[in-house]
Amino acid sequence: ESSTGGLDTATISSPAIDLTGSMDDAELTFWVHGHGADIGTMIVTASALPGGTVDTLAVFSGQITSFQTQDFALVGANISQFMGGNMYVNLTYIRGASFRGDFAVDLMSVNSCVVPPSDDIGVTDVELDDECEFSSTESITVHITNFGLVSQSTYDVAYSVNGGTPVVENANLFVDSNSTVPYTFTSTVDMSSDGTYDLVAYTIMSNDVDTGNDTLYASVENLPNPPAPTTTDDTICGGDTAVVTGTGDDYIYWYDAATGGNLVGDGEELHVSPSATSSYYAEAAYMDYFFEDFEDYNDGDFIALFNPNGPWVTWPGGTPGALYDAPVSNAQASSGSNSLHLDNAASNTPDPVLLFDTTWDEGSFEFTMDMYVVTTGYFNLQGDVTPATVWAMEMTFDNAGGFDLGGGALAGPYPGPGVWFNISLQCVDLTEGTWELFIDGSSQGSVTLLNGTSVGGANFYAAAGNNYYIDNVMWSSPLGELACKSESRTEAIVNVEDCSNINEISSSNLGIYPNPNDGEFSIVYSEDIINVVITDLSGKVIYSNYNINSRNVNIDMNNYERGVYLTHIDTPNGKITKTVVIQ
């Protein structure tokens, strides 16, 4: 503190720092902050005794940081001359010309190499992960690490599960200094029941110098298999495309056999064109996902501050509750009352990151959210769970209703500022890096991105001029071959009929009103309408609604491109196909 009326020179000394066990090297580091023309001089000295002869380690004169709000600077000094004994650090500050020369020091530390003990081993890992197929005779494999200087071969290894009686075995494995070896217990454990298993594994050695690193605690879960999905059949004429559906709480894979067989599709709908009546089988698999609607927060809560353990963090260099954090707001919401506000005009420059569970680099992946652009908007998907490692893709939204994905790789219109809209980025196979963009459910095209083969987080940066809100943020990915799957598959039958001698039923009692239309129209029939499937002229399904059982169906296709579409209507009397024009 350099205000007038105080001392011109002040010194603070550290307590004794023990370097008796140090070897090779030792370093003193600390963080400093000093900005302005009136910064004085900081002298860093050290001595072996309190008040003894000092060695000058560093001298800082004048400005250290170039602007007032800049982060502290890390500095260091070699202190190897004090190894083998104690050291006392002294900080002496000589004030500058005025009260504006305050100088700050923080986070002082001493780092050095130490001589490891001669005899020291411990368990450092266990080869068990969450699954859904643990057996009644599960093997336990642990990793034993030798932290000491002397090789070891005479020691015991033990484990216990859920507080049960420990199993102790003689390992008889040679493990060299600074090496690790795996050991599999001959005794197995029953983990066939669904639930969590708490495992404690440790080494036992009579001459172990440090027993604090002997033990490893682990917890694994035997997950229940998801229930098999329910399915619906379909009947088509030869040459038509059938749609069978599967429903359930989990992701669905489709196969051509009840067991084994070939994977023929995934997702809730399977579109197939068999030449003869065929069966398809739906299997459920657990999906990993995250959903955030911001309804558990109050207006003004900072998202990273209120998630100290993730998954919301600030961009590197930020501080939860301050720089780069973003506030929850009740000024806008796609659903409920709250959303997250990203406004470049805010003094802390919001720049939060939603971390995904891991870096996803195989299987399929979907990222979706609702967005409200006030002026312009921006976000990116990070290619690694560690932010700032690699950018998978970025997307911008201008104030004239245009978007850009991947730096010009894909561009087009979005609903524009002042309205909520939905964005969905979907990748069927991350190893290929091809992503399809949907806005309000309508495909905007696909693009293969150089860094699109992995994703680890979503970064919502309020860049220059940006002001936007996000809501209902979600990512999801089926776990593929690693997933727990239903123990059985559910059959869906596609009945293929010979319709060559059958005239399509009269459509005189069916109407589409209005037609042409602006995307909103109704289908009216004299009897119940069962299913409605709408395709473009290439046969791609863009709308489907099943098990309607009503004589009047209202359709909203406002967000689809103008053009001619084919409407396929299933009735109790058969199928009717009509064209509808959106203009």
How far, in Å, CA of 66 to CA of 16, rounded? 34
Q: What is the pLDDT of residue 269?
A: 86
pLDDT of residue 265: 82
Structure tokens, 129? 């992960």
User: Of 491, 498, 493, whose CA–CA distance to 240 is shortest?
Assistant: 498
Same domain, 362 and 443: yes
Question: Do 331 and 444 fall into the same domain?
Answer: yes
Please say whether the beta carbons of 410 and 449 come within 8 A. Answer: no
Instruction: Report if residue 423 sits inside a domain.
Output: yes
Q: Is the peptide bond before 514 cis (omega within 30 degrees of 0)?
A: yes
- 213 and 127 in a single domain? The answer is yes
2 is a domain residue: no
Q: What is the pLDDT of residue 559?
A: 82
* Residue where a domain stops, chosen among 496, 530, 547: 496
Enclosing H/E stretch for 535? strand 531-535
Domain-located, residue 484: no
Q: 425 with 381: CB under 8 angstroms?
A: yes
Residues 301 and 393 in one domain: yes
Q: Are 468 and 342 in contact (CB under 8 A)?
A: yes
Could you tell me if 110 and 170 lie in one domain? no
Amino acid in position 138? E
d(Cα 385, Cα 200) in Å, to the nearest integer?
29
**Interatomic CA distance for residues 128 and 209, integer angstroms:** 28
User: Exposed, middle or buried: residue 427 (CB in 10 Å: 0-12, 13-18, 19+)?
Assistant: buried
348: in domain: yes
Question: CB neighbours (10 Å) of residue 106?
Answer: 9
Beta bridge partners of 318: none
- Full residue range of the structural domain in which residue 509 is found: 503-582
471 shares a domain with 329: yes
Burial of 442 (0-12, 13-18, 19+ CB in 10 A): middle
Looking at the structure, do residues 52 and 95 belong to the same domain, yes or no?
Answer: yes
pTM of the full structure: 0.50
Helix and strand numbers (H, E) in the chain are 0, 45
Work out how many domains the chain is built from and give that number: 5
Domain with residue 143: its CATH number is 2.60.40.10
181: Cβ contacts below 8 Å, ≥ 6 apart: 143, 144, 173, 174, 175
Domain final residue, candidates 222, 241, 266: 222
Q: How far apart are CA 340 and CA 459, in angstroms?
A: 13
Both 277 and 295 in one domain: the answer is: no
Residues in the chain: 583
Regions of the chain short of the pLDDT cut 50: 502-504
pLDDT of residue 502: 47
Q: Using an 8 Å Cβ cutoff, are 285 and 251 in contact?
A: yes
As given in the structure block, the two tokens for residue 298 are 């109050």
**Exposure pattern of 320-340 as b/e (b: 16+ CB <10 Å)?**
beebbbbbbbeebbbeeebbb
> Are 150 and 184 contained in the same domain?
yes
Q: Are residues 333 and 426 in the same domain?
A: yes
90 close to 45: Cβ distance less than 8 angstroms? yes
Q: Which residues contact 347 (CB under 8 A, 6 or more apart)?
A: none
Given a contact cutoff of 8 angstroms between Cβ atoms, the answer to whether 95 and 126 are in contact is no
In a domain, 1, yes or no: no
Task: Kindly calculate the radius of gyration of the chain based on its CA atoms and give it in whole angstroms.
Answer: 33
Average pLDDT, the chain: 89
344 and 369: one domain? yes
* pLDDT at residue 500, as a whole number: 62
Does some domain include residue 96?
A: yes
| 158 found inside a domain | yes
Read off the CATH number of the domain in which 569 is found.
2.60.40.3080
Residue appearing with tokens 């006030």: 374
Q: How many CB atoms lie within 10 A of CB 153?
A: 10
Together in a domain, 354 and 409: yes
Whether 3 is covered by a domain: the verdict is no
Residue pointed to by tokens 């919401």: 333
- Residue at a domain's end among 79, 96, 114: 114
Sheet-wide strand order for 242-247 = 230-232, 242-247, 269-272
**CB neighbours (10 Å) of residue 371?**
26
Burial 108-138 (b: 16+ CB within 10 A, else e): eebebeeebeebbbbbeebebeeebebeeeb
CATH of the domain at 44: 2.60.120.200
